[in-house]
Structure 1
Amino acid sequence: MNGEEEFFDAVTEANQRVTGVIHVDTSKSNGIGKVGERPPQENGIQKHRTSLPAPMFTRSDFSVWSILKKCIGLELSKITMPIAFNEPLSFLQRITEYMEHVYLIHKASCQPQPLERMQSVAAFAVSAVASQWERTGKPFNPLLGETYELTREDLGFRFISEQVSHHPPISAFYSEGLHQDFLFHGSIYPKLKFWGKSVEAEPRGTITLELLKHNEAYTWTNPTCCVHNVIIGKLWIEQYGTVEIVNHRTGDKCVLHFKPCGLFGKELHKVEGYIQDKNKKKLFMIYGKWTECLWGLDPAAYESFKKQERRTDSLRKTKLDDCPEKADGDVVDAVPEAQETVQVIPGSKLLWRVNTRPPNSAQMYNFTSFTVSLNELETGMEKILAPTDCRLRPDIRGMENGNMDLASQEKERLEEKQREARRERAREEAEWQTRWFHRGSNPYTGTPDWLYVGGYFERDFSGCPDIY
């Protein structure tokens, strides 16, 4: 196991019992309806649950340092984190959150001009990371061979993902529009770096969106995500880095800069960028925040506004006394105060706005309404799901129901089962066989990728591995 991956993994034997924080009566809510009960429907549209079976407990009783200080001198690969720092979702389900704003793909598909299509694709790429705002819980690492499927007829897509590699951890996914309007696929293998106070996740892997009606393909890679104050202080998240979205048919490119928060947090959450043609002529400017909204307008109007803004700024001296002091580098990274909402430049058009989170989101790991429904297991669903589906994972189900002791025990059992399966393959000199994806090259970038082989929704699950 590599140390960067394990830093986020589970519980060392010495700390396994750092769990049972609360004991919630789970007999009333196991995520499954009564026998014979049909999923509630309204006007023919299936309704999804609006809250989790049990609220999350406070993590304030835990600190990563309380774990690490007992492990001084051990290899990083020997250090694992208590389940208290998890959220009740698999990383495969977290990838599925890309689809929350799938209407932007449908909108792109309906646009007649490539510039308008790129605007909607850019908005979709930004929206895909919006659910990470204030999500400081770590998703469960998928087991090798684990899968997750989601069909949302109301949103017009179906989605399948598989954990295709454990070392390094690689998650492959494939989604298609139910009206044959798009394909969306990719493979993600985040590279984790521990910097002492923060953990940085660099999301390697190519994301591809194909708009079938226009015979267009777009590719990009997500920005870097950083969780601050993993040792001490209040956890907070920022996204930074440059995202380049390429239209492989026209040569158009959208360049988006996710700004690091900067001194005093002035740039926190900001996204700025532009769309250019194949001759690098700027066609459209984009600005906003990945936590709120995205706007765009003509480059001339944008530059004119910025010039005026710079003139105004030079006349106005910032009072340093009014700004929070810079945090001591040895203590915590101060949580930046959220700046005023996005200042809309006259003449701008709205490209995307984040969905309002449910009022009880803070008690549900800061999940969005879309996320709350991802681990829902309706009556009879287990009969049609692959036996490797995340919804059937007993440790995640235990945590969702508030039974932390059970969740911790099951997590340890599953990980040991996975290690034993790996030892068995080594003894037999057998290679792991993926089921729904195969290793290949991205057809548009030529870079290594995992490609969907098809057949999942025909539901022949006879050869699926026993991982739970």
Structure 2
Amino acid sequence: MSEKSESDHFKGWLWKWTNYIKGYQRRWFVLSNGLLSYYRSQAEMAHTCRGTINLAGAFIVTEDSCNFMISNGGAQTFHLKASSEIERQRWITALELAKAKASRMMENDESSDEDGGMVIVDTPPNGDLVNQVNQSVDSDLRSTLRLLASKLDDLATCNDLISKHGGTLQRSLAELETQGKKWHKAIIHEREHRLRLEETVETLAKQHNTLERAIHAGTGPPRSDSKIDEKENDNNVSEDEDDDDEFVDASDKGFTTEFVKTHKKSESTASTTSSISVDVSSVKDEVAAIARKQSSVKIRRTQIPDKPNYSLNLWSIMKNCIGRDLSKIPMPVNFNEPLSMLQRLGEDVEYAAILDRAAKCTSSQEQMAHVVAFSCSNYATTLYRTGKPFNPLLGETFECDRREDLGFRILCEQVSHHPPAAAMHVESKDYGPNSGWTYWQEISLSSKFRGKYLNVCPLGVVHLKFHASGNYYTWRKVTTTVHNIIVGKLWVDQSGEAEVINHTTGDRCKHKYFPYSYFSRDTPRKVSGVVVDKNDKAYYVMSGTWDSHMDAAQVDSVNYSNRSKPAYKTLPAKRLWQKYPLPIGSEKMYFFSTLAVTLNEEEPGIAPTDSRLRPDQRMMEKADWDLANELKQGLEDSQRARRRKREAEAIAKKAAGQQVELYKPIWFSSKKCEITGEIFNVYQNEYWECKEKADWSRCPSIFEVQKAPILQSVTAAES
């Protein structure tokens, strides 16, 4: 933006061509007394000038709508660019006026030099008053005439500029008016589109309420007038057709960026209107069938008690823990969230629908792209989750059977206490020898407090197998960092490099989780990578963020001019994962997702070692943190007592020459992986059978607290 401070001064920002490497650079230009000077910044005016050109004798050339050039015919030439055509025109006008004025000043100086530079008037010794007055009047007249001549020259220059650039200005104004009309039409269109969307949402809300009433009634939807049903269904068809346009954006630094519009329309759309309007009874029957099916699914809770406002200085607890493993340090529940680490593991498969889609992929590279998107979705819930999960007790378990609504069931068990390690096994709904998928892992956490931040490094390998194709995948998780431990608001970041490998086909995808930086221009929480086959041929470019979405763009061609960083030209991208919105009021519920809210929900028939039966965790969820801290201390003391008992028994057996058997998990057993060579615990396929028989004889009593007063207080609180 330029500004005019005085009649002969003009200054502002312009873009100046520097060289072929840097191109145009933004510089501060000052026009004063016929000289055009430039600086890197306004502050630089006080001490340094980067260059100056004298406009007297210079010529000014306009190149296009924003570019122009100034040259004095010698070594000095400025190639400049304004931010807009109007801004360029303002500079051209100022420069032409300054050039004309500088030229006149130079001519006057030359004529003065020819005349000797000074006029000397001889007067008689005694002086003639009349002659002196006449000379004074002549001098004033000459000054006035010179001033008038200067003004006439200015007017002539302005007239030339108007005649030269008036057409350009008129075209610019006409273009601005045309753009104004276009924006006005666009605003009207967007307003109409918003109104249509609001009507669609209102219609869907009505249908949702109808389905909810049908589910609760259990016998189908309430009766309604057929004509109303016909009208609503017809409206739905037209509105759905408007909403079939989906826009996706595949972009990443170094990748081709395209804005793609895909129109998704089913083959039956053309006949939908007639079929719905004619056969209303069939629609009612279908809705009733859906309602009966959903009535068999348990209605899950949608909220938990609000987190109380307990003030506790985190630094006062952690200042003595710098460099130590936090898993070995007892922490109050004030820093926890009412879920155990086993339940947090269950959140890894919140987006298991991606794996269901991946199982249907005919291309192993396309399936790999889905698996990478799924691995990134594991971190979707961690952005605001600064609370620490409860450390599971040894032998603690967690089951989550959500086959009817989410399509999977989970079993987790704490298989080691020092070091802490948890084993996890997940099966899809259609799990079988030749169908569905299995997901399993044994993971332990190494957490180190570094003063300003806390590093949590997951140890262990994640395994995934699709039974129909036999494709076997593995990958490792990246580092989680919690910042602002000492001062400020806590925030979480994921960083590091990960590699998903298909050991069956040799496909792999190296992708990077970019650490957040205040000074980086990259998208925050960015993840990017490339899916390649065993011959390093690129198939898909993966891009997105670990807290929001992941896209896959098929590679069309590759430019290997830069071997270290090839450039990929891609086809339109496809969104493989999109984060679900958090439930309303999640900021008061530890920022739990919709799935996380249900994980600690009380449920009958579960094992007595299940995390949902932990008394300290239950009391924390009910906002009784004082009692929760007492219970937590009691449970940890009981666990230490059991460990000392096992150690004493082992010493006695060893002294008696008997074989000493280490702790054995309940539902998992150690096995060497044929793919990775690691020793880890795998599921023994017995838990769900024991649950059907209600046989929990092998489960230890791990939630018994030794302190009787605490048990009495828990009983009183429950009652």
Q: State the TM bucket, normalised to the shorter chain.
A: 0.7 to 0.9
SS of the residue corresponding to residue 669 of structure 2 reads strand
State the 1:82 CA deviation: 2.2
CA distances 1:19-54 after superposition (whole Å, capped 9, x unpaired): xxxxxxxxxxxxxxxxxxx9x9944322210001x1
Q: Tell me: CA distance 1:133–1:243, structure 2 relative to 1, closer, same or farther (3 Å).
A: same
TM (norm. structure 1) is 0.78
State the 1:376 CA deviation: 0.4
Give the fraction of aligned pairs with identical amino acids, expressed as a percent.
39
CA distances 1:388-425 after superposition (whole Å, capped 9, x unpaired): 00000000100011111111111001000000000111
Give the whole-Å Cα distance in 2 for the aligned partners of 1:86 and 1:359: 21
AA in 2 matched with 1:95: L
Q: 2:625 pairs with 404, 416, 424, which one?
A: 404
Q: 1:161 pairs with 398, 408, 412, which one?
A: 412
SS of the residue corresponding to residue 440 of structure 1 reads strand
AA in 2 matched with 1:269: R
SS of the residue corresponding to residue 468 of structure 2 reads helix
User: Paired residue for 2:339?
Assistant: 89
Q: 1:51 pairs with 303, 328, 349, which one?
A: 303
Matched, 1:463 2:698: yes
CA distances 1:70-115 after superposition (whole Å, capped 9, x unpaired): x599988885332111000000000000110000111111111112
SS of the residue corresponding to residue 179 of structure 1 reads coil
State the 1:372 CA deviation: 0.3
SS of the residue corresponding to residue 238 of structure 1 reads strand
Give the whole-Å Cα distance in 2 for the aligned partners of 1:403 and 1:201: 28
Q: 1:388 pairs with 596, 604, 609, which one?
A: 609
Give the whole-Å Cα distance in 1 for the aligned partners of 2:668 and 2:303: 33
Give the whole-Å Cα distance in 2 for the aligned partners of 1:300 and 1:72: 52
| Aligned 8 A contact 1:63 1:232 in 2 | no
Q: 1:64 pairs with 314, 331, 339, which one?
A: 314
| Aligned 8 A contact 1:375 1:391 in 2 | yes
Q: CA RMSD in A?
A: 2.6
Give the whole-Å Cα distance in 2 for the aligned partners of 1:450 and 1:42: 36
State the 1:57 CA deviation: 2.2
CA distances 1:214-248 after superposition (whole Å, capped 9, x unpaired): 11110001111100112222100000111111111
Give the whole-Å Cα distance in 2 for the aligned partners of 1:292 and 1:217: 27
State the 1:436 CA deviation: 0.8
Give the whole-Å Cα distance in 2 for the aligned partners of 1:164 and 1:116: 35
State the 1:286 CA deviation: 0.5
SS of the residue corresponding to residue 66 of structure 1 reads helix
Q: Tell me: CA distance 1:73–1:442, structure 2 relative to 1, closer, same or farther (3 Å).
A: closer
SS of the residue corresponding to residue 405 of structure 2 reads coil
- Unaligned ranges ≥5, structure 2: 1-217, 219-291, 563-569, 651-660, 704-719
State the 1:302 CA deviation: 8.7
State the 1:159 CA deviation: 0.8
State the 1:431 CA deviation: 2.8
Matched, 1:364 2:585: no
Give the whole-Å Cα distance in 2 for the aligned partners of 1:79 and 1:103: 38
User: Paired residue for 2:525?
Assistant: 269
User: Paired residue for 2:681?
Assistant: 450
| Aligned 8 A contact 2:510 2:531 in 1 | yes
Tell me the matched-pair count. 386
CA distances 1:128-173 after superposition (whole Å, capped 9, x unpaired): 1211111000000000000000000211111101000000000000
Give the whole-Å Cα distance in 2 for the aligned partners of 1:443 and 1:186: 14
AA in 1 matched with 2:359: S
SS of the residue corresponding to residue 121 of structure 1 reads helix
AA in 1 matched with 2:448: K
| Aligned 8 A contact 1:176 1:182 in 2 | yes
CA distances 1:416-451 after superposition (whole Å, capped 9, x unpaired): 000000011111116322111112222321122211
TM (norm. structure 2) is 0.51
Give the whole-Å Cα distance in 2 for the aligned partners of 1:167 and 1:88: 23
User: Paired residue for 2:160?
Assistant: none
| Aligned 8 A contact 2:325 2:448 in 1 | no
Give the whole-Å Cα distance in 2 for the aligned partners of 1:467 and 1:209: 31
Matched, 1:185 2:418: no
User: Paired residue for 1:150?
Assistant: 400
Q: Tell me: CA distance 1:411–1:294, structure 2 relative to 1, closer, same or farther (3 Å).
A: same
State the 1:263 CA deviation: 4.0
User: Paired residue for 1:102?
Assistant: 352
More helix per residue: 2
Give the whole-Å Cα distance in 2 for the aligned partners of 1:408 and 1:263: 38
Q: 2:427 pairs with 173, 176, 186, which one?
A: 176
Q: 2:662 pairs with 405, 427, 431, which one?
A: 431
Q: Greater relative contact order: 1 or 2 (C-alpha under 8 angstroms, separation 6 or more)?
A: 1
User: Paired residue for 1:249?
Assistant: 504
Q: Tell me: CA distance 1:302–1:349, structure 2 relative to 1, closer, same or farther (3 Å).
A: farther
AA in 2 matched with 1:50: T
State the 1:123 CA deviation: 1.0
Q: How does 1:5-404 map to 2 (within 5 A)?
A: 42-52=294-304, 54-58=305-309, 61-68=311-318, 80-152=330-402, 153-180=404-431, 181-264=436-519, 266-267=521-522, 268-300=524-556, 347-378=572-603, 381=604, 384-404=605-625
Q: Tell me: CA distance 1:278–1:234, structure 2 relative to 1, closer, same or farther (3 Å).
A: same
